[in-house]
Amino acid sequence: MSSNILISLRPENVIRQLPWRVDSKAALGLLLLLAMFSLVGWLYLTQASAVTATSYRIDALRLELDQIKNQNAALTLEIAQLQALDRIEARARELGFGPTTDVRYIPVADYPMPQEPQKAVMGGQPGRNSFDSTSSELDQTTWWTQTLDNLAAWLEGRE
């Protein structure tokens, strides 16, 4: 059996030889479907690209934040070292400062004095004013007692 089928590869002959044919409406539908899939693909890739760019930007900002935190910690350490008492003493000595042994009090005329401190009896001498630590302890005790008395009176007045 020999068949003499001549196949022509010219486009107009190839289209005629295809077993199926596509009319213009079907071709337009396929073209629209292809355009729709292309559009959806383009939108997806655009969104994915924007998300990736935003992710890179967030990573860069986090890296910058970490660097700033490290700089802040280094500056805090430097401040702590500069505020050390040993360093301050050494710097004061470099500037010519030192501990004082000669303390002088300067009287100021017409300086307003606080209320007269309580008079305490010292060493069997009645009437002598005492300005030592015993007097300040008595002032604090008196203040605390007065505060508690005021609080108790206020609480009694509310009931």
Q: Which of 110, 111, 132 is nearest to 121 (CA)?
A: 132
Q: Do 139 and 118 meet the contact criterion of CB atoms below 8 Å apart?
A: yes
pTM listed for this prediction:
0.40
Residue 124 belongs to some domain of the structure: no
Angle ∠(27,19,6) on CA atoms, nearest 5:
125
Q: Is the pLDDT assigned to residue 155 strictly greater than 90?
A: no
In a domain, 33, yes or no: yes
End-to-end CA distance of the chain: 128
Residue 156 token pair: 């009694």
* Residue 122: inside a domain: no
Q: CA 89: distance to chain centroid?
A: 34
Question: Which tokens hold the place of 117?
Answer: 């401190």
Residue 108 contacts residue 94 (beta carbons within 8 Å):
no
Q: CA-CA distances (angstroms) from residue 70 to 56, 63, 76, 84?
A: 21, 11, 10, 21
Q: Answer yes or no: is pLDDT of 124 > 50.
A: no
What total of structural domains would you count in the chain?
1
Q: What is the pLDDT of residue 8?
A: 63
> Which one has a higher pLDDT value, 62 or 133?
62
Residue ranges making up the domain that contains 61:
21-82
Query: What's the pLDDT band for 127 if we cut at 50, 70, 90?
Result: very low
Whole-number Å distance between alpha carbons of 141 and 152: 16
DSSP labels, 53-97: HHHHHHHHHHHHHHHHHHHHHHHHHHHHHHT-HHHHHHHHHHTT-
CA distance linking residue 103 with residue 1, whole number of Å: 135
Residue 26 resides in a domain: yes
What pLDDT is stored for residue 129 in this prediction?
A: 47
Instruction: Specify if 100 maps to a domain.
Output: no
| In a domain? residue 11 | no
Residue whose C-alpha is closest to residue 44's, from 34, 32, 36: 36
pLDDT tens per residue across span 76-96 = 999 999 999 999 999 899 999
Residue 68 in domain: yes
- Say what the pLDDT of residue 66 is: 97
| Pair 126, 108: CB distance under 8 Å | no
Residue 27 lies in a domain: yes
Q: What is the pLDDT of residue 107?
A: 83
> pLDDT tens digits for 13-71?
655 555 566 678 888 889 999 999 999 999 999 999 999 999 999 999 999 999 999 99
